Structure 1
Amino acid sequence: MGQPTHARKPREAQDWWRDAVIYQVYVRSFADGDGDGTGDLAGVRARLPYLAELGVDALWFTPWYVSPMKDGGYDVADYRAIDPAFGTLAEAEKLIAEAHGLGIRTIVDIVPNHVSDQHPWFRAAIEGGPERDLFHFRTGRGALPPNDWRSQFGGPAWTRLPDGTWYLHLFAPEQPDLDWAHPAVRREHEDILRFWFDRGVAGVRIDSAALLAKDPRLPDFTEGQDPHPYIDRDELHDIYRSWRAIADEYGGVFVGEVWLPDTERFARYLRPDELHTAFNFSFMTCPWDAARLRAAIDETLAEHAPVGAPATWVLCNHDVTRTVTRYGRADTGFDFATKAFGTPTDLALGTRRARAAALLSLALPGAVYVYQGEELGLPEADIPLDRVQDPMHARSGGTDPGRDGCRVPLPWAADAPHAGFGSREEPWLPQPVDWAAYAADRQAADPTSMLALYRRAIALRPVFAGGPLTWLPAPDGVLAFTRAPGVTCVVNLAATPAELPAHTEILVASGSLDTDGRLPKDTAVWLRA
């Protein structure tokens, strides 16, 4: 894959994050440095030249902390230590410094809504200690839990202890929710932020950012209830204002995981004294449809404009079906409720659309997040039932395939054991037998590969010069816009080829033009006018 031709120094401008390309690293599945079958920090450090050559500005690491891994690391037992399966704190510090030397910043993932049931606080709480006040413990209603809340993973949001008391968990039972009304919870997380900023991280991604605060009465949930008893409560904003003051001391940034249908409520999290950015789920879950994509883009830019925050563009992450697979299905949108085993997929069609979507997202104003393996065009993998680890599968009674299919270890070398992920043990999740075809070394040698497309597009992205988006006249089913004088992005989602506007140069294309010089369906191009 080669060394980068030069190390890019991180941009010193305080607003680097406004138009950054940020690469999501799911450490467990990225690269295995010691051959034990689990990805680790040594593997990431060895692949930093690959990431520098890809051209990304920052890495977002999903939780790398000590964890029993009941939910892929989002059940944290110690926020100040690296899980031994991944490495050590000293190695994390080296990784942060080495990445910075190549022009790449680091963003860590903080999980404030809950901890692991192995966290010292919760272990003391179930023994009856005063730490109980840091969680939501209640007596039940006879044999019934304290209220009717449901877990995000399915089933009740309450688990009963042998002493008869119940504790709240909006996710798995191994992830008890913290009580954010307690000042010790707030102090602890402020200390955690300082701990990681002191180690050189540039930013923090906030997991489940809209769920922390709960109605202290813990009432039953009624559809349409306002305010919601545990989503998007007003008390959250005071928490994030206190966090922002800490980030400003260090020049750090926040990105929130905020799933909200109300655009005005969503924008409140992005006010100048709160979070810097938040993930844009309307675009990520949008079907491959020109009118709906344009509406999602317009709505996203409109909801960010009043607070001056940049949009973020995401096609996939560690929780959703991979783009190549999703775009090859009859239903090209994404909804957790519709996930099912055996959904037919046309991977050739999905790959063509995913290539076009990459150029679309990289041309839009704001920051772009690339989930590991998207640059290789990896499809969703089928996981044998006896190897599925995601709690969503078990909590659904076996009907939900879970999220493991997008978390399969990456293929690095076509001719190496386990496609180069690691040299000795079988990976923690099985790789499909045909994944050598997607290996990074093979794609690096192919100028038509998905990897080559991502590298070229990321390198060329500055041609848009950070300007605002202006839509251009285009036929139905075609998206065309400019952001800088003389540079145009055209994406054809129509059933027939589209004529290109006048241009002097094709900067990059997701596929070949037809024999008449027209843009085929499911193809995108950047043009110099």
Structure 2
Amino acid sequence: MSDTRPSSLPRNATLYRVDSAHFFDGDGDGQGDLAGVLRQLDYFGRLGVDGLVLSRDDRHGIPEVQWQAFAIRLRQAGLSLWLAENRHFRAWPEGEVLPLCTLVDHGPIGLTHWLEKRAQGGQAVWATGGPDLTRVVSRCGGGDLKVALPYLALLACLPGPIGLWQGEELGLPHAAEPGDTRGNRSPLPWVEYPEQSPVAQQPMQRRVATEHRAMAVSRQEQEPESPLNQCRRLLQWRRRQPLVANGRIAATGLHDGLLWVQLAGAQPSLTVVLNLLPYRQQHRLAPLPNGWQTELILGQAELSDDHQLNLGGFAAAIVTPKVQE
């Protein structure tokens, strides 16, 4: 990247890009609003994000005093505030600007190009989705919603700030034909059955896309292996992993839908292996004197004694060299 200025944003930061008009209805008028964003501060905290990105439309027409009060509430909750403009995120009110680099190619081939750019260094916010893109689950998953896991794992392992587009943590598919931005504009599904929700949420929740209702927050909260809970695990791991904060991408590889990324730095290296296809595959790790150990697994994956990693369809595994006892 050409912009190599130091940034105040931590390299392991996660930003959450909010479409406030379709996020949460805070005043009961049937439309999402900034009050709704503030009503869900606990959601952001449990997810593990460090800042929110809003659009210029969210800022437009809001009195300065109200906007400043909104920013103060976010800051008190430990969240920075950013505005999306063109292909950049701008910090508010400091004005720091970071370029946004989003994967737009289809399938695994596009990922390799993306990772080559990431390995070149430079500060940028990396993402797999946005308001003008077909959701990554539909763009790269061939209709299988389980593809959300490896793409979330890929983002979580990247050294440098990342951005989650609203709903990616739920593994939501596109709710329209590919390329139709309305597929990103269905209200976030908070409850599976809107008729059982508080009155203030009902008008907006009844507009949730039909295919999103079974993926509602209320349902995923109860399922330990749901995309939401897996995403929380990943972002918690990301926050405490030194190589994400201080390391670099040392090597990448792609073969038959298996993608692996190796991080290196002052700490022992780690390798992230992603199965981007719906069937089981095997990946042989480089032999080490003490072998390997798994640090985090998403989906079905097992590590054998002979350095063989067996990954189920759309599974992901993070492995590290085993420390001699």
Place the TM-score, normalised by the shorter chain, in its bin: 0.7 to 0.9
**After the TM superposition, which residues 279-428 of structure 1 pair with which residues of structure 2 at under 5 Å, given as runs?**
279-281=100-102, 284-289=103-108, 291-302=109-120, 305=121, 309-329=122-142, 346=143, 349=144, 351-382=145-176, 402-417=180-195, 422-426=200-204
Q: 1:319 to 1:474 in 2, by over 3 A?
A: closer
| CA distance in 2: counterparts of 1:361 and 1:507, whole angstroms | 16
**Match of residue 232, structure 2, among 437, 441, 455:** 455
**After the TM superposition, which residues 118-517 of structure 1 pair with which residues of structure 2 at under 5 Å, given as runs?**
205-207=84-86, 251-254=94-97, 277-281=98-102, 284-289=103-108, 291-302=109-120, 305=121, 309-329=122-142, 346=143, 349=144, 351-382=145-176, 402-417=180-195, 422-426=200-204, 430-461=207-238, 462-463=240-241, 464=243, 465-471=245-251, 476-484=256-264, 485-493=268-276, 497-499=281-283, 501=285, 505-513=293-301
**Match of residue 72, structure 2, among 90, 97, 102:** 97
Give the secondary-structure state (helix, strand or coil) at the position aligned to 1:380: coil
Structure 2 unmatched runs, 5+: 1-5
One-letter code aligned to 2:311: L
Q: Deviations over 1:98-146 (max 9, x none)?
A: 22122110112xxxxxxxxxxxxxxxxxxxxxxxxxxxxxxxxxxxxxx
Give the structure, 1 or 2, with the largest relative contact order (CA under 8 Å, sep 6 or more): 2
Residue 491 of structure 1 deviates from its aligned partner by 1.5
Decide whether the 8 Å contact of 2:293 with 2:303 is kept in 1. no
Q: Equivalent residue for 1:165?
A: none
Structure with greater proportional strand content = 2
Q: Deviations over 1:210-254 (max 9, x none)?
A: xxxxxxxxxxxxxxxxxxxxxxxxxxxxxxxxxx9xx89x75411
Q: 1:460 to 1:420 in 2, by over 3 A?
A: farther
Larger radius of gyration: 1
| CA distance in 1: counterparts of 2:182 and 2:196, whole angstroms | 17
Decide whether the 8 Å contact of 1:511 with 1:523 is kept in 2. yes
Decide whether the 8 Å contact of 2:54 with 2:82 is kept in 1. yes
Give the secondary-structure state (helix, strand or coil) at the position aligned to 2:107: coil
User: How many pairs were matched up?
Assistant: 300
Q: Does 1:526 align with 2:310?
A: no
Residue 438 of structure 1 deviates from its aligned partner by 1.3
One-letter code aligned to 2:9: W
| CA distance in 2: counterparts of 1:42 and 1:101, whole angstroms | 15
Decide whether the 8 Å contact of 2:104 with 2:110 is kept in 1. no
Structure 1 unmatched runs, 5+: 1-12, 67-78, 83-87, 109-204, 210-243, 255-276, 330-345, 384-399
Decide whether the 8 Å contact of 2:292 with 2:319 is kept in 1. yes
Decide whether the 8 Å contact of 2:301 with 2:317 is kept in 1. no
**Match of residue 51, structure 1, among 44, 52, 69:** 44
Decide whether the 8 Å contact of 1:411 with 1:421 is kept in 2. no
One-letter code aligned to 1:447: P
Q: Equivalent residue for 1:113?
A: none
CA RMSD of aligned residues (A): 3.2
One-letter code aligned to 1:374: E
| CA distance in 1: counterparts of 2:199 and 2:136, whole angstroms | 22
Q: 1:524 to 1:34 in 2, by over 3 A?
A: same
Q: 1:452 to 1:65 in 2, by over 3 A?
A: closer
Give the secondary-structure state (helix, strand or coil) at the position aligned to 1:528: strand
Residue 420 of structure 1 deviates from its aligned partner by 6.9
| CA distance in 2: counterparts of 1:47 and 1:371, whole angstroms | 16
Residue 372 of structure 1 deviates from its aligned partner by 0.7
Instruction: Name the % identity.
Output: 27
| CA distance in 1: counterparts of 2:197 and 2:224, whole angstroms | 21
| CA distance in 2: counterparts of 1:367 and 1:510, whole angstroms | 22
Give the secondary-structure state (helix, strand or coil) at the position aligned to 1:60: strand
Give the secondary-structure state (helix, strand or coil) at the position aligned to 2:16: strand
Q: Equivalent residue for 1:34?
A: 27
Q: Give TM-score, length-normalised by structure 1.
A: 0.51
Decide whether the 8 Å contact of 1:21 with 1:58 is kept in 2. yes
Give the secondary-structure state (helix, strand or coil) at the position aligned to 1:286: coil
| CA distance in 1: counterparts of 2:47 and 2:19, whole angstroms | 17
Decide whether the 8 Å contact of 1:24 with 1:370 is kept in 2. yes
Q: Equivalent residue for 1:147?
A: none
Q: Give TM-score, length-normalised by structure 2.
A: 0.80
Give the secondary-structure state (helix, strand or coil) at the position aligned to 2:30: coil
One-letter code aligned to 1:519: L
Q: 1:477 to 1:376 in 2, by over 3 A?
A: closer
| CA distance in 2: counterparts of 1:60 and 1:49, whole angstroms | 17
Give the secondary-structure state (helix, strand or coil) at the position aligned to 2:52: strand
Q: 1:505 to 1:514 in 2, by over 3 A?
A: closer
| CA distance in 1: counterparts of 2:11 and 2:199, whole angstroms | 33
